[in-house]
Structure 1
Amino acid sequence: MADARKVAFLTASEGVERVELTEPWAAVEGAGHTAELLSVDGGTVKLFNHLDAAEEKSADGKVAEASVDDYDALVLPGGVANPDALRMDSDAVAFVRDFVASGKPVAAICHAAWTLIEADQVRGKRVASWPSLQTDIRNAGGEWVDEEVVVDGNLISSRNPDDLPAFNRELLSALGSTS
């Protein structure tokens, strides 16, 4: 295994699709890396099973106080409300924009592409997402694709929770892990 990496998971305070946070988190930690949860307010994050409240997780920090330099990769879980709230937070949008510009891996699943769109980071990129975002991606200059996982430069994207095995595989590959 490569040296241990530190991966930021960025969310709003609620509306996070549980499996889109917990499964990549488990994959990252299972490969010997460190996962940290950043949120807009740094408090408790409410996870959901689609529209049903599931559990809560405490954030490790606030995105406004985070530095791209402290992390080796960024994961953007979906859920409809989560990325919709993130794209309204200027600190979150700036963090995502700076992370993509850094060249480090950024992995977005399902509705998380909304945050990438707001950060103007899909232009000229192939992006997979939940199908309802395809017009948004095209209008932002990206190419929407219906594939389980797409890697375009440092951007990794997938459509939905069914794609998590492929999403996690590409995330770990970008971190230099094979497990």
Structure 2
Amino acid sequence: MANELRGKRIAFLVALEGAEQVELTEPWKAVEEAGGTPELLSTQEGEVQAFNHLDRADKFPVDRVVSEASPSDYDGLVLPGGVANPDYLRTREEAVRFVRGFFEQGKPVAVICHGPWTLVEADVLRGRRITSWPSLKTDIRNAGGEWVDEEVVVDQGLVSSRKPDDLPAFCAKLVEEFAEGRHEAQARSA
């Protein structure tokens, strides 16, 4: 995986609090090991507070505020989970617009655990096959998606996994999809 993502910038979008730390750090490491450049975006400047389930974990510096970013600046997007993280992001118009832009441009998106709540709000799941933390099943189905219980699911540039235990498969597939680049079918779902 040393050079598959050389020259590619990957956005990681999280709220100021609530992202599951391992769902941020493991994909970040996978992007770096594949030669890509990860960039941490949030709704405000400063630092984001990650969590290990319900306990505070480490803080990470924000590279860019999402309202000042464009999907055109990036080659892919990672949406970590954690219950509070996507629940907050889906209430922020600039975050939802940013996420939707990746689908409109056919760019790959990787999402894990509770992260699909932001995709539900962006209305990009109609006709898409996806997995998540089981409690999102009804939300995904109501948004027109096909929810499945699998370790990792790839649907035309959309990579999804259920939980931290799935991270090895999730990271491998997100690197593969980011390396492949644009997917026309991704744009059709937006």
Question: TM-score scaled to structure 1, two decimals?
Answer: 0.96
- How far apart are residue 150 of structure 1 and its match? 0.6
Structure 1 letter corresponding to 2:98:
F
2:50 is equivalent to residue 47 of structure 1: yes
- Whether the 8 Å CA contact 1:100–1:154 is kept in 2: the answer is no
- Whether the 8 Å CA contact 1:148–1:163 is kept in 2: the answer is yes
Give the distance between the partners of 2:109 and 2:178, measured in 1 at CA.
11
Q: Find 2:8's aligned residue among 5, 8, 11.
A: 5
Question: TM-score scaled to structure 2, two decimals?
Answer: 0.91
The runs of 5 or more residues in structure 1 that have no matched partner are: none
Equivalent position of 1:102 in the other structure: 105
Residue-pair matches, total: 177
- How far apart are residue 100 of structure 1 and its match? 1.4
2:139 is equivalent to residue 136 of structure 1: yes
2:130 is equivalent to residue 152 of structure 1: no
Give the distance between the partners of 1:170 and 1:59, measured in 2 at CA.
25
Structure 2 letter corresponding to 1:145:
V
Show the 5 A alignment for 1:8-23: 8-23=11-26
Structure 1 runs of 4+ with >3 Å offset? none
Equivalent position of 2:168 in the other structure: 165
Secondary structure in 1 matching 2:179: coil
CA RMSD of aligned residues (A): 1.0
Give the distance between the partners of 1:130 and 1:146, measured in 2 at CA.
9
Identity, in percent, stands at: 63
